[in-house]
A and B are shown apart, each in its own frame.
Chain A
Amino acid sequence: MKKQLPMFLVFLCGMIMIVQFVVPHEYSQTLFQHSQDFVIVIGVLALPIGIYSLMKSTVTKARREPKERLYSLITIIGFAVMIIAGLKRDWFTSSTSLSSNLFNYILVPAQATLFSMLAFYIASAAYRAFRARTALAAVLLITAFVVMLRLIPMPEPLSTWNAEFVRWILEVPNMAAKRAILIGVGLGAVTYSIKLLLGIERAYMGGD
């Protein structure tokens, strides 16, 4: 019963969603909208569990590992300050409130800093990936070189030739590979969904 009931619910909800997919009527769309709202409700209800988990792991870490104590303390203080700063609705929505200032001038720059590191990570990953150790890696290296050349000013007619060749690379072999992956992903997703509906795939519930 512990497994049968969730599996029945998965089957029922899945079948409703399949029917909903081919019925564009307002009733069907309203049902879909409500199901989406229900997902949000579940997410909101689960949030306290997440917060409890975060605080528990942070406090445990602070207790057990002295080296982690500072980071844990920052997490706890940040958590408490953000809660207090957002206690009133207008504190949270006003663009000049403490909550907005903390968000805009601490969190957003911190996130942007982390995101900007991507540029350096791309360079180091590309350096490793573009070592021509095999024939295929050599093809990758040459192709990448040609594609990057498009961004460099070159004299005519080299520039036009290169632009045309790069366009062909992107629109023909590159697009073919992307579409092949997308077709595989689409079919794989449908197969996986049918397996979930029929109860064949149960690993997400903890297996058999």
Chain B
Amino acid sequence: MRLSGLFWILLVLCAGFTGPARGQGASDLAPPTDLVAADIPNDKGHGVQLTWEPSADASRVQFYEIYRLPYRPPDEGPPLRPEETVDDDWMRVGAVAGGVTAYAQTEGNTTIGAENNPLYVPRDAPTYYRVRARAADGTLSAFTPAVTGIAKGNWFHTQRVNVLVIAFVLGALMLYFIQKAKRGEKIYIRPIPGLSRIDEAIGRATEMGRPILFVLGTGTAAEIATLAGYTILARVAEKTAEYQTPLLVPVNDPVMMVMAKATVKEAYLKAGRPDVYNPDNIFYISAMQFPYVAAVNGLMLREKTATNFYMGVFHAESLLLAEAGSITGSIQISGTDRVAQIPFFVAATDYTLIGEELYAASAYLAQDPKLVGPLKAQDMVKAAILMLAVLGVLEMTVFKTEWIRSLITPH
């Protein structure tokens, strides 16, 4: 009697260890099918995309669990292969909700030093995956057969073709309009009040005998808006050299300071007044946003600057600077490509260069055919985009088709 009791206990325990809870034996939950592991396109070569058909018991599936064989670095032995492994060798890499039948594994695409991670997806080498379903009550299905995914490095980003095409079209149009402008054909540029008032603002400071402040923003020298700011700085410096008005340029980046010094020095040379150039007027304050603002605001209040220019990349400090300048009664001209800061500048400064107007400054101020031509090309592309937008809306509204949308959307 005691022996038969022990037998039954052992039988129950064995059933517990080998039963469906570990997903190794028979399960009444159907597994997902047709698992496919494919390379993720347009990546650096460490991504595999898994797709599968849902379980026949899809309504019971709470989520699908994704397993893979861990990555083994070459110096630790040959890669693991499914036929040489047992269940414990497989690692769970993630899970997706029951209604989802896809999973992307990209360890190594974004992480530096990911080779030490067992979940690392090697480039041009096989990675083995399998998937199983789990029901809400904890029942597990069997695994799908293991599949191989080979991540490949791609040499062309197909989703960036549209950017490349527009850059080529723009480049070709630029060359065409430069030639046209060089032949002497008149190219119209609409008046930009912020730029046409620069001379007036400098003149005002000169008459008042007070300095001019030029703020290049809190961006870096690697940003286009900052470089555009230098174009205007060059023009302002040339004028201040002529009028012998002090020009103060506090900067937040040592590289920008070096560039600003070179720009202003060249402008003073160009104006024939290198003797008036004072390198100490271009100085570094702080790379931190608010200490920089505090120093510039203090400068405005103490030096009583008559004219303030804000040209470049600005963040939360835009209104702090512009309002301080407004309090001191300065005439203020601003320009930025940051959409979020434009309303603050519009509200607090006298003239604002909105977005692309900042980039147009060099062409507007110099009236050089080489600079005016690209501006016209830009306008042509902008008109084409506008036309496409209008036609796209009409097409979708009237004809209920999306041909134009598919034309410009990356595939």
Segment from A83-91, A145-153, A159-167, A199-207 that makes contact with B: A199-207
Q: Which 5 A-B pairs have the closest CB atoms?
A: A206-B266, A50-B254, A188-B356, A129-B347, A188-B359
- CA–CA, A51 to B44, complex, Å? 40
The listed residue (B230, B326, B347, B356) touching A187 by CB distance below 8 A is B356
How many A-B pairs have beta carbons closer than 8 Å: the answer is: 205
Q: Which residues of B contact A201 (CB under 8 A)?
A: 227, 231, 362, 371
- Most A CB contacts (10 A, CB to CB) among B155, B157, B167, B347 go to B347
Partner of B374, one of A18, A111, A194, A208: A194
Q: Give 19 A-B contacts (CB < 8 Å), ordered by A residue.
A: A25-B153, A26-B123, A26-B153, A27-B153, A42-B255, A49-B284, A50-B257, A111-B288, A114-B320, A122-B319, A125-B348, A129-B348, A187-B381, A188-B355, A189-B337, A191-B378, A201-B371, A206-B265, A207-B267
* Residues B316 and A118 in contact, CB atoms below 8 Å apart: yes
What's the minimum C-beta distance from A70 to chain B, rounded to whole angstroms? 12
CA–CA, A204 to B312, complex, Å?
13
A94 on the B face (CB < 8 A): no
Given A181-B355, A194-B174, 4 more contacts at CB 8 Å?
A: A24-B42, A54-B286, A187-B378, A188-B355
B234 touches A184 (CB 8 A): no
Is B99's CB within 8 Å of the partner chain A? no
B193–chain A nearest beta-carbon distance, Å: 14
Whether A192 and B227, one on each chain, are in contact in the complex, defined by CB atoms closer than 8 angstroms, is: yes
| CB-contact partner of A191 in B45, B123, B174, under 8 A | B174
Is A62 an interface residue, CB under 8 A from the partner? no
A207 touches B254 (CB 8 A): no
Query: Chain A's nearest CB lies how many Å from the CB of B176?
Result: 13
Closest-CB distance, B56 to chain A (whole angstroms): 38
When chains A and B are docked, how far (Å) is the Cα of A170 from the Cα of B228? Answer: 30
Report whether B320 and A194 are in contact in the complex, using a CB–CB cutoff of 8 Å: no
Report yes or no: A192 in contact with B224, Cβ–Cβ below 8 A. Answer: yes
Is A121 within 8 A of B153, CB to CB?
Answer: no
User: In the complex, A42 Cα to B254 Cα: how many Å?
Assistant: 10
Docked CA distance A194–B255 (Å):
22
B298 touches A50 (CB 8 A): no
> What residues of chain B have their CB less than 8 Å away from a CB belonging to chain A?
42-46, 112, 123, 153-157, 160, 163-164, 166-167, 170-171, 174, 178, 220, 222, 224, 227-228, 230-231, 233-235, 253-255, 257-259, 262-263, 265-267, 270, 280, 283-291, 293-294, 298, 302, 316, 319-320, 322-323, 326, 337, 339, 342, 344, 346-348, 354-356, 358-360, 362, 370-371, 374-375, 377-378, 381-382, 385
A114 to B296, CA, bound (A): 13
Q: How many chain A residues have a CB neighbour from B under 8 Å?
A: 66
Q: Which residue of A lies closest to B252 (CB)?
A: A50
Q: Chain A: which residue is nearest B254 at the CB level? A: A50
Q: Cα distance A47–B266 when bound, in Å?
A: 23
Contact of B44 among A25, A53, A71, A187 (CB under 8 A): A25
